[in-house]
Structure 1
Amino acid sequence: MKVLQLQCKTEILRVLRNRYFLFWSLMMPILFYYIFTNVVNTNVPDKALWQAHYLMSMTVYSVMGSSMMTLGIRMVQARSEGWATFIRITPLSDSVYFAAQMIGQSVIHILSITVIFTAGAIINNVSLTPYEWIMSGIWILIASTPFLALGTLIGLMKKVETAATISNVLYMVLAITGGLWMLLEVMPELMQNIGKWLPSYHFGNGAWEIVRGRMPEWKNFLILVSYLLVFMTISK
């Protein structure tokens, strides 16, 4: 257990020292949140609800990117730099090393959720009930699992450049078509039909439902679990 704790601490520190993570997973979502709630889209009918809705979108956007890119690229780097090979000749088992990566990434997600939620409360005085804050945070943490699986799938690639390119493209496509940057309802009908089958939409929709005083839809659970199983199966 002590070995796992130490390795988890190492993985967390590696992420926190990564400028790429700090910029793309924390600074950019907060900047986008400010722009899309205070510079544009300022004349929406229910401004408070829009600010809460978009706060969830940017938090999901942050955690999704961290799962796919921070985790996936870090795994490729570890293998290409020989770190993964070095681990195999130490007493640290593969299972403990993998568990530490997943736990460490989950702790990073908790940090991201906390930071972005705090930013929303400061920037726009977003006021949710304690239940809504807690449940939306729990949803985002748990529903990120399929994207962690996708991150490990990206981590199987041989070259860092390839992993970075593919993860960046996937990240942007899923964010846009999943309704994280703009409402899915304003997109062409074809994109709406496609978007409603993507994991990014169902990831975000669960949190959007919670800030509206409802529970995530059963379809959100079903689609995310299906994607999780597919990504896990492919990565074997």
Structure 2
Amino acid sequence: MKLFLLQSQAEVRRIFRNPYFVFWSLLMPLVFYFIFTNVVSTGVPDQDEWNAHFLMSVTAFSVMGSSIMTLGIRLVQERTEGWTAYLETTPLPPVTYFTSKMAGQSVVHVFSIVFIFLAGRIINGVSLGAAEWFLSGLWILTASLPFLALGVMVGLMKRVDTASGISNLLYLALALTGGMWMPMEVLPEALQMIGKWLPAYPYGSGAWGIIRGSAPEWRHIGLLIGYLALFLGAAVYIRKRQDAMQT
């Protein structure tokens, strides 16, 4: 447990020192938020409701991207630079290494959620009840686990440039088909049908429902749990195959 806590603390410090994280996970979502709520005319009947809805979208967008890209690319970098091989000579178990990565990333997500929520309050005066702020933030944090698992899968790739390209593609495709940039209803029907079975839509939908007074749907929770199991299982299988090929 002590090794886990120390490694998690180190991960948090390293992430905050990374300008890539600050730009893509904090500044870019706020730029999107400002543009789509103050510059682009969406024609929505209730602007205040849209401001709150899109605040949940950009927060989920930020956490999802941080899980897939920041975590995944960093894992590839550490392995290609020999850091992972060095850690294997220390008492730190491999399981602790990966779980501390995910835990450290989750701590950073708490900061991201609070930061973006505060920005929404300042930029557009988004007003929610204390329970709505807390529960929507808690949902965005805990329901990000499948994306952290996907980030671990990305981190098993052999090259940094490959991991960067694929993680960007996954991130943007999930955001688009998940209704995080625009309501699902305006997307083509084919994209709507596909998107509702991908993890990004149930992820965002849970937060959208909470700020409207409803709980996340059980089928969405089941989908996210299923994707978590799928991505973790695939990551374990790929890791075992890689170890077997090296021996």
Quickly name the TM-score band, shorter chain normalised: over 0.9
Matches within 5 A, 1:152-191: 152-191=152-191
State yes or no: 1:22 paired with 2:22: yes
Distance 2:43 2:185 in 1: 17
How many positions carry a matched residue from both structures? 236
Percent of pairs with identical residues:
58
Which residue number in structure 2 is paired with residue 79 of structure 1? 79
CA shift at 1:41, angstroms?
A: 3.2
CA shift at 1:3, angstroms?
A: 2.7
CA shift at 1:42, angstroms?
A: 5.3
Matches within 5 A, 1:1-236: 1-41=1-41, 43-236=43-236
CA shift at 1:69, angstroms?
A: 0.3
User: Which ranges of structure 1 fall in alignment gaps of 5 or more residues?
Assistant: none
CA shift at 1:13, angstroms?
A: 1.1
Normalising by structure 2, we get a TM-score of 0.93
CA shift at 1:91, angstroms?
A: 2.2
Please give the root-mean-square deviation of Cα atoms over the aligned residues, in Å: 1.0
Moved beyond 6 Å, runs of 4+: none
Distance 2:52 2:193 in 1: 25
Give the letter aligned to residue 138 of structure 2.
I
Distance 1:42 1:65 in 2: 24
What do the CA deviations read for 1:150-194 (whole angstroms, capped 9, x no partner)? 000001100000000000011111101110011110011111111
Normalising by structure 1, we get a TM-score of 0.97
Distance 1:53 1:41 in 2: 15
User: Which ranges of structure 2 fall in alignment gaps of 5 or more residues?
Assistant: 237-247
Distance 1:102 1:232 in 2: 12
- SS of the equivalent of 2:41 reads coil
Distance 1:193 1:98 in 2: 34
Range moving further from structure 2, 63-72 or 186-195: 186-195
Distance 2:135 2:225 in 1: 19
